[in-house]
Amino acid sequence: RHDVLTTIVVFGASGDLAKKKTYPALFHLFQQGLLPKRTSIIGYARTQMERPNFLERVTSYFKEDPESPDVQRFLGICAYVSGKYDVDADFQRLRGEIDSNEQAMGKRDSAEERVHIYYLALPPSVFVTVGDQVRRNVYDGTCTNRVVIEKPFGHDLESSRVLSREIGELFDEDEIYRIDHYLGKEMVKNILALRFANVFYEAVWNRHYISNVQITFKEPFGTEGRGGYFDEFGIIRDVMQNHLLQVLSIVAMHQPKSLRSEDIRDRKTEVLRRILPIQLEDTLLGQYVGTRDGSKPGYKDDDTVPKDSMTATFAQCVLHVDNDRWRGVPWVMKAGKALDEAKMTIRIQFRDMPNALFPKLARNELVLQVSPKESVYIKTIVKEPGLSTNLAMSELDLSYHKRYQDLKIPDAYATLILDVLNGDHSNFVRSDELDEAWRIFTPLLHQIESEQVVPLPYEYGSRGPKGVDEFATERAGYKLSAG
């Protein structure tokens, strides 16, 4: 793999995603020696910029000093082309640049193994325009082509299908890599190993032993500065329909036949098909307001948000997986902006012990903490140490930062770009998965919009709208942990 002549084109190279995620991830891979020896990276965007300005922009989010030898060597493989997104001649120039870079890297002949990666760090409104230009003016049928795109993939089931069809007319499904960056997170990637490399989890991984599952995403900051984007989407489309549902599908799926990407994606899609559309009665919506002391603004205080916006910045909903493994087990998803902490957890709560030997203390739980600090712990009952015969709640605790010295967990984007370089689709969303994800959420989203459901207010920095714990406990029919 290391010898493959590789070209990576980053469209939208002067934008935020490229600056904050794509280029730092590419640099990380370069520094680790994980980019093929002959790689060239071409940034493409509309902004007219001299190369030094571009390079300065590109390095602005690097942790490394821009003058360091590693950064300088990396910049040596970076080029910039400015052009419009709908002008043939501009894309023909890009093709020229790719060809001349390949020659400069020592292209042998047309039979040599070559890869072209088109990373669209762009708003979806131009995906098809750019894809079409690439297909007509840049695409080289003599090499392997991979196209990387990122959400939002549509707005609902129908618009997502239109987008999928249009992109599908330009590229084959196995050329397309739909990023959901949660699939590149260490703890999310760990779910497969945890579930299928240990004998004891799979035995209890069903409705007979598991009472409920809670998938929680909390951010301590609001949408300041992104209000324009966010108001069009809301929290359900922003993180639930994609990141949280992807996590759910890996926790809920049956064992794949193998670790090959299509086997994994088949299993995920299969379980998504069994999820019933979410009901409005099983959903609680919230929108944050400013703090009483005025130190933090409310959602609608943002100039880019309409004053009468009813967009939810918080949502909690209960999902049901209608198959023999999970029937009757509530899956509680909760996500919110401007809450009291930064945390993403998957909490699997087990049933009560079916004997009366000991008084009930609390339930066992397996918790996977995705962020901020990766950890896995099992809430376990033990005898209180010493002469006492009482029970105590304790934890079997695998905190990665304590267990692994010099722990350096790469950013999700670095692992995902490496997967693209390796042609591994396991951690990318297939079009049928995407379709199912929208099927589950679309009726709810349409109902919220048509009935103009008003989100409940909650104060910036709080735990969410009043009654959030009671709501989940009532809908799920069990006492949940307050997370």
For residue 335, the Cα-to-chain-centroid distance in whole angstroms is 13
Cα 478 from chain centroid? 29
Q: Under a CB-based contact definition with an 8 Å cutoff, are residues 417 and 216 in contact?
A: no
Please tell me whether residue 359 adopts helix, strand or coil conformation.
Answer: coil
Site for ligand BG6 in 259-318 (CB under 6 A): none
Task: Pick the closer one to ligand BG6 by CB: 219 or 459.
Answer: 219
Residue 331 or 413 having the CB closest to ligand BG6: 413
The C-alpha angle with vertex 251 and arms to 250 and 253, in degrees rounded to 5, equals: 65
Reading the block at residue 260, the tokens are: 């090959």
**What is the dihedral sign for C-alpha 462, 467, 471, 472?**
positive
Q: Which is nearer to ligand BG6, 93 or 343 (CB)?
A: 343
Nearest distance, CB of residue 440 and ligand BG6, angstroms: 18
Q: How far is the CB of 312 from ligand BG6 (least distance, A)?
A: 13
Nearer to ligand BG6, 97 or 238 (CB): 238
Return the number of the residue (242 or 349) whose C-beta is nearest ligand BG6. 242
Identify which of residues 181 and 363 has a Cβ nearer to ligand BG6 in the complex.
Answer: 181
Minimum Å gap between C-beta 441 and ligand BG6 is 15
The residue sitting closest to ligand BG6, measured at its beta carbon, is 238
Type of residue numbered 62: F
Residue 154 CA: distances (Å) to CA of 162, 163, 190: 8, 7, 29
Least distance (Å) from ligand BG6 to the CB of residue 161? Answer: 21
**What is the distance between the alpha carbons of residues 11 and 121, in angstroms, rounded to a whole number?**
6
CA distances from 166 to 137, 161, 162, 173 (A): 17, 9, 6, 12
CB 211 within 8 A of CB 350: yes
187 binds ligand BG6 per the rule CB under 6 A: no
- Axis-axis angle for helices 261-273, 245-252 (nearest 10): 100
238 binds ligand BG6 per the rule CB under 6 A: yes
- 55 makes contact with ligand BG6 (CB under 6 A): no
Task: Establish whether 243 is a catalytic residue.
Answer: yes
Other CB atoms within 10 Å distance of the CB of residue 405: 6
CB of 24 to ligand BG6, least distance (A): 13
Going from the C-alpha of 385 to that of each of 183, 382, 388, 390, 394, the distances in angstroms are 41, 8, 7, 9, 11
Identify whether the C-beta of residue 129 lies closer than 8 Å to the C-beta of residue 85: yes
Catalytic residue of the set 181, 243, 320, 425: 243
- Residues between 333 and 372 that touch ligand BG6 (CB under 6 A): 371
Tokens representing residue 101 in the block:
């870079």
Q: How far is the CB of 342 from ligand BG6 (least distance, A)?
A: 8
CA distances from 227 to 125, 218, 247, 343, 446 (A): 18, 18, 26, 22, 21
Q: Name residues contacting ligand BG6, limited to 207-236 (CB under 6 A).
A: 219
Amino acid at 94: L
Q: Which is nearer to ligand BG6, 170 or 338 (CB)?
A: 338
Per-residue binding letters, 147-186, with ligand BG6 (x by CB under 6 A): ----------------------------------x-----
CB of 240 to ligand BG6, least distance (A): 11
Q: Select 78 or 240, whichever has its Cβ closest to ligand BG6.
A: 240
Total binding residues for ligand BG6 by CB under 6 A?
A: 5
Question: Footprint of ligand BG6 on residues 369-428 (CB under 6 A)?
Answer: 371
**Residue listed under structure tokens 């469209």:** 11
Which tokens in the block code for residue 157? Answer: 């089931």
Asked if 239 is part of the footprint of ligand BG6 (rule: CB under 6 A), the reply reads yes
Q: Is 215 exposed, middle or buried (0-12, 13-18, 19+ CB in 10 A)?
A: buried
Residue appearing with tokens 């329909």: 241
Is 435 among the residues that bind ligand BG6 (CB under 6 A)?
no
Please list every residue from 86 through 145 that binds ligand BG6, using CB under 6 A.
none
Question: Cβ 241 to ligand BG6, closest distance in Å?
Answer: 11
Active-site residues: which are they? 243
Binding residues vs ligand BG6 (CB under 6 A): 181, 219, 238-239, 371
